[in-house]
Amino acid sequence: MNEKIEKPSPDESALERINEENRDTLMASLGICFTFISQGRCEAVMKVEKKVCQPFGILHGGASLALAETVAGQGSLMLCAEGEVPAGIQVSGNHFSPAREGETVRAEGTVLQKGRTLHIWNIDIIAGDGRMISSVRVVNSILKRR
């Protein structure tokens, strides 16, 4: 039985605000756009364009890792208390299948561990046809804002 699981609707104004705050940053340069955010879950999409590809037209692994760290960072920010900010301290990924120029990939991040000083995230990067492109683990340190 293949039932579709409905996700809660994201707060559109929050997504618009987050995407606007990322204007003129690495995220905007890579074409990353957040599509869903909640406590412990975050999703974003990125078009596989020439600017994020290796010279032979497939998604660069570094761009995949930047997408994953971006999703984990935004997800951790949602979990932080006032006066705290996340900082990525470890990123490790496995690449399973190439995404080719012209495709769009979706990064689905889920918090695995929400500690007082560390958040551990799993981010799966998936092609539009459902192929697993990469699976990435991100560890964020939670810092006090200065």
Q: Does the annotation count 69 as an active-site position? A: yes
Query: Which of 65, 25, 35, 30 lies closest to 47, judged by CA?
Result: 30
Contact 59, 96 (CB under 8 A): no
Instruction: Give me the DSSP letters along 48-106.
Output: --GGGB-TTSBB-HHHHHHHHHHHHHHHHHHHSPTTEEEEEEEEEEEE-SPPBTT-EEE
Catalytic residue among 16, 20, 21, 69: 69
Residue positions annotated with a catalytic role: 69
